[in-house]
Chain A
Amino acid sequence: MALAQKMRNRGAADLRRRLLLDKAGSIAWSLIRGVLILGISYVILLPLLTKISASFMEERDLFDQTVKWIPKHFTLDNYKTAFKHMKYPIAFLNSAAFAVGIALLQTLACATVGYGFARFRFKASGILFALVLFTIVVPPQMIFIPQYLNFRFFDIYGLIKDGGVNLIGTIWPFVAMSLTCTGLKNGLFVYIFRQVFKGMSKELEEAAYVDGASRFRTFYGVMLPGAIPSVVTVFLFAFVWQWNDDFLTTVFLPSATILPVTLSQLGYSVSWGTGTEGATSQYASLIINTGSLLFILPLLILYTFMQRFFIESIERTGLVG
């Protein structure tokens, strides 16, 4: 009896001590965690914060050791200059229309192809899907020169005579590549959609078939609407990547008034435009930084409203589990 009582007492004391230790441990841990997260967030936000701070400074503030975060000579001239040289209003509208259109085409095309891989069994399925993975692995930098020449003298394996058609400087290379899932990171999108449609139940489809819907109708009427969250996620990623891309854009659309092109020419056009004054590299750098801010501003606004779609994206894509 007494022994049992003693045991119980010791057990209670042990438990209390363990609880106390646990509590101290968890407080210490949440402190460490807080500092770590703040530090990492700081590293991530630093370039953005410095850019914002510098964008309001005059050039002389850059050399002034006493000026740190708050500009001594507050000015909006950097924005005005960058705005003007980037031809911002037109370039913005063009960029937005371009990126939305391309992202839409890519999403629809990749969803269609991904569905084909997910639902139908056919002989070449394995090989074709291996080729999709292959397009992910080959760097665009390796094939962009033949691609460029392919569109510069577009002849579809010699079908069009007289050296083919020049498609450089038009949006057709992008449209063609997006419709056929060979645009930017499209292999990845096909892969994602294959996973998504594989994970969806077959019952809905079978019900649609019983009701006499064709395969295409079933896909566009039942399956695609059912996968809307993943569709939105892929669309947003395609949009952001297309918006940010300057590699293919500056190669295929070298003189278009769209943001990646006008931004990449900004340093050049600023030092050219100032004429006799002669722009210093610091000044050009200041304008380029301000231009970069103007460039990512629409993305930041989009991200603020759609962050859930980005952050929960991987769970929607069936990439895991």
Chain B
Amino acid sequence: MKLLSRFRLTLDRRESLAGYLFTLPFTIGFILFFLRPFIQSVVFSLNELVIVPKGYELHSVGFENYRYALRVHPTFVRTFVDQVIAMLTTVPAIITFSFFAAVLLNQEFRGRTLARVVFFLPVIMSAGIVLRLEQTDYMTSVMSTTDSDTQIFSMASLSGFFMQLQLPQTLLTYIMNAVNSLAQIIRASGVQILIFLAGLQSIPPSLFEAADVEGATKWESFWKITFPMLSPLILTNIVYTIIDSFTSPANALVRLIRDTAFGGVGYGVSTAMGVLYFLAVSVVLTIAIAIISPRVYYQQ
């Protein structure tokens, strides 16, 4: 009798059972491979970790690892502050640039597909290991210095290369110089451009037509229609950019945390640094969302 009633489930219960079943892989993964490491990383940061033949042992040291990271470690605090400041300055630049680039790429012109292919190339190309190697690479560091004597590939020679495309020299070098300082920003904007681009395409054209009939200029309809309609995506992109920047291999702090773990002062200090970084990023994310969220315009 009991068995039967267990099989005769109501529709609601079957539905919720199916929900639990479908999401079961994540639940298992979260408990086994995420929750445990997450808690352990906090525990490790309060201990000294010693590898023994049958696993590892923890020796409690209180906040010693944090003290070491903040007070003794020669470069951690500087790198940490640099990285947070860099994040605060590049995020607005990336958002502005990708917004602008998306508006540009949304217009009709010849070679638009090709331009989109090129703009999105960094997502494929300068990610992961290639980006990490570039950070510490000799040739790249030489190339990025501004002193023309030490440059292997000077700007002049490159503009010469582009001169063949029949562009005026002065205009070209001006653009190239201005744009070159933005190199990092441009290369970090691929996904953000795509998100804005998709957003632009989802704005109903009837809105612009109505504005046009009412006599609005393009400038006005940009600020009164395009901008508010894209504002939810500005928030999405800010969150994405912040997360992307603190997991990027181009991030010096990420490399420092990793080097500290393997061959550095040890796991304890490294996890303490990781926890501090996580806290800083959480604070930045919370502040960013708190400031922007009320200003976002949602349709409906």
Residues of A within 8 A of B (CB): 30, 33-48, 50, 53-54, 62, 68-69, 109, 112-113, 115-117, 119-125, 128, 131-132, 135-147, 149-150, 153, 156-157, 162-164, 176-177, 179-182, 190, 215, 219, 240-241, 243-247, 260, 263-264, 281-282, 284-286, 288-289, 292, 295-296, 299-300, 303, 307, 310-311, 313-315, 319-321
Whether A150 contacts B139 by the Cβ 8 Å rule is: no
With contacts A295-B130, A299-B125 known, is A162 near B25, CB below 8 A? no
Whether A36 contacts B176 by the Cβ 8 Å rule is: no
Whether B29 contacts A36 by the Cβ 8 Å rule is: no
Number of A-B pairs whose CB atoms are under 8 Å?
A: 296
Q: Besides the contacts A142-B274, A215-B22, A300-B124, what 18 more A-B pairs have beta carbons closer than 8 Å?
A: A40-B186, A42-B158, A44-B187, A116-B19, A124-B20, A139-B274, A142-B271, A149-B40, A177-B33, A182-B33, A244-B128, A245-B128, A245-B129, A246-B128, A263-B133, A307-B117, A320-B195, A320-B199
- Distance in Å: Cβ of A64 to nearest Cβ of chain B: 9
A-B contact pairs, 23 of them (CB 8 A): A35-B172, A36-B104, A39-B178, A43-B187, A116-B21, A120-B15, A120-B19, A135-B30, A137-B285, A139-B274, A139-B277, A141-B254, A142-B38, A142-B275, A143-B41, A145-B44, A146-B37, A163-B53, A182-B30, A286-B139, A288-B133, A289-B139, A314-B198
Whether B124 contacts A40 by the Cβ 8 Å rule is: no
**B16, CB-defined interface residue at 8 Å:** yes
Whether A182 contacts B246 by the Cβ 8 Å rule is: no
- Distance in Å: Cβ of A198 to nearest Cβ of chain B: 14
Interface hits, B231-261 → A, CB 8 Å? 233, 236, 243, 246-247, 249, 254, 257-258, 261
A37 cross-chain contacts in B, Cβ below 8 A: 104, 111, 115
Whether B22 contacts A120 by the Cβ 8 Å rule is: yes
Complex Cα–Cα for A59 and B121 (A): 29
B228 cross-chain contacts in A, Cβ below 8 A: none
- Distance in Å: Cβ of A52 to nearest Cβ of chain B: 12
- Distance in Å: Cβ of A244 to nearest Cβ of chain B: 3
A116 cross-chain contacts in B, Cβ below 8 A: 18-23
Complex Cα–Cα for A116 and B22 (A): 5
Whether A260 contacts B16 by the Cβ 8 Å rule is: no
Complex Cα–Cα for A172 and B127 (A): 24
- Distance in Å: Cβ of B73 to nearest Cβ of chain A: 16
With contacts A68-B157, A139-B246 known, is A47 near B129, CB below 8 A? no
Which of A46, A145, A164, A180 has the most chain B CB within a 10 Å cutoff? A145
Whether B179 contacts A39 by the Cβ 8 Å rule is: yes
A142 cross-chain contacts in B, Cβ below 8 A: 38, 41, 271, 274-275, 277-278
Whether A143 contacts B127 by the Cβ 8 Å rule is: no
* Chain B residue at smallest Cβ distance from A120: B19
Whether B44 contacts A181 by the Cβ 8 Å rule is: no
Complex Cα–Cα for A146 and B55 (A): 12
Complex Cα–Cα for A297 and B126 (A): 12
**B227, CB-defined interface residue at 8 Å:** no
Whether A135 contacts B167 by the Cβ 8 Å rule is: no
